[in-house]
Amino acid sequence: MSPASVLDVVLAAAVLAVALVAVLLPSRRGAVSAFLVLGVVLAVLWARLDAPDIALAEAALGSGVAGALLMDTLTADPARPGRRAGRTAVVVGLLAGAVALAALTVVVRAVPDEPSLLPAAVAEEIHGAGADHAVTAVLLNFRSLDTLLEAAVLVFAAAGAGALVRTPVRAPDPVPAPVTALARVLLPALVLLGTWLLLAGTSRPGGAFQAGAMFAGALVVAFVAGARFAASQGTAARAWTVAGVLAFVALAAGTAMLGQGWLVLDPRWAGAAVLTVETVLAVSIGVGLAQVFVANSEARRVPS
């Protein structure tokens, strides 16, 4: 492993500094803002770590969708001033943190320095996996059960957030003219960008998750600009939210009935199957994340 370069050291210091600021600031607004900065810095770190997929996802989800969600919280009524942690709790917490850090360092140092065997195994199997890009092949073929369950978690989150809404959708706030104008440009641009990421995902970094985040961004923009379809929490939105899981389960059932076993794809049609599931999954992730946002946003308007 090469010695750390100046850029790496500065980057590591930056990540640690931003993380510390994000957790140490006493005000909610400061913490959230610093966390958004952390998203940007992390995207750069992932880029340095040879993980462009993750950099894309971090830019889209970490500082995009999650940022919008967190920032939107700040427009709600402020929290009642809570008690601060007592001195004993702080001391115990810091001690526990020090012990945990020491233990973690020991554990991580014990990890062997040799590269794992997985990249070679993936490279061996990737022909006929349905995607030339290794990460996409892992996500939608080799470890597709993980992705299925991840889609299920998203359904759970969207349903949970939706269940917390107490008021029906009211008339939206007046929309400033620049927002409408911006939405007209941004909405098609985001959808186009998402589609590009989706299609690019089979051969290069990109894929369903990043595309889904783009679609979610597009829906959020439409929602903020007052579009009726984006504010809907009706049957269609719910159907799209669960569509990702359903597509996966249907694929699993299909392969099981064809006698190959659950989610074992035949190389002859793996490409088509992967792209189909990815497309449904991307729209599903987009609608699901947008549903989470809309639910949060409606909760904001609970009359007091």
Per CB under 8 A, contacts with other proteins among 52-91 are: 52-80, 82-85, 89-90
Q: Which stretch binds other proteins (CB under 8 A): 114-122, 232-240, 261-269, 270-278?
A: 114-122
Q: Which of 169, 189, 227, 264 binds other proteins (CB under 8 A)?
A: 189
Those residues with Cβ within 8 angstroms of residue 232's Cβ, 6 or more apart along the chain or in another chain: none
The footprint of other proteins on residues 220-249 (CB under 8 A) is 220-221, 224
**Amino acid found at 209:** F
What is the CA angle 293-296-299, rounded to 5? 150
List, as one string, the DSSP characters of 126-158: -TTSS-SSHHHHIIIIITHHHHHHHHHHHHHHH
In angstroms, give the least distance from the CB of 257 to other proteins.
27
Q: How many CB atoms within 10 Å of residue 134?
A: 18
DSSP 170: -
Helix (H) or strand (E) holding 164: none
Q: Which is nearer to other proteins, 29 or 258 (CB)?
A: 29
**Amino acid found at 134:** A
Per-residue binding letters, 31-50, with other proteins (x by CB under 8 A): xxxxxxxx-xxxxxxxxxxx
Give me 143's structure tokens. Answer: 């470890």
Q: Which of 130, 147, 278, 287 binds other proteins (CB under 8 A)?
A: 147
Q: Which of 125, 132, 169, 186 binds other proteins (CB under 8 A)?
A: 186
Question: Does the footprint of other proteins cover residue 113 (CB under 8 A)?
Answer: yes
The footprint of other proteins on residues 191-220 (CB under 8 A) is 193, 196-197, 200, 204-206, 209-210, 212-214, 217, 220
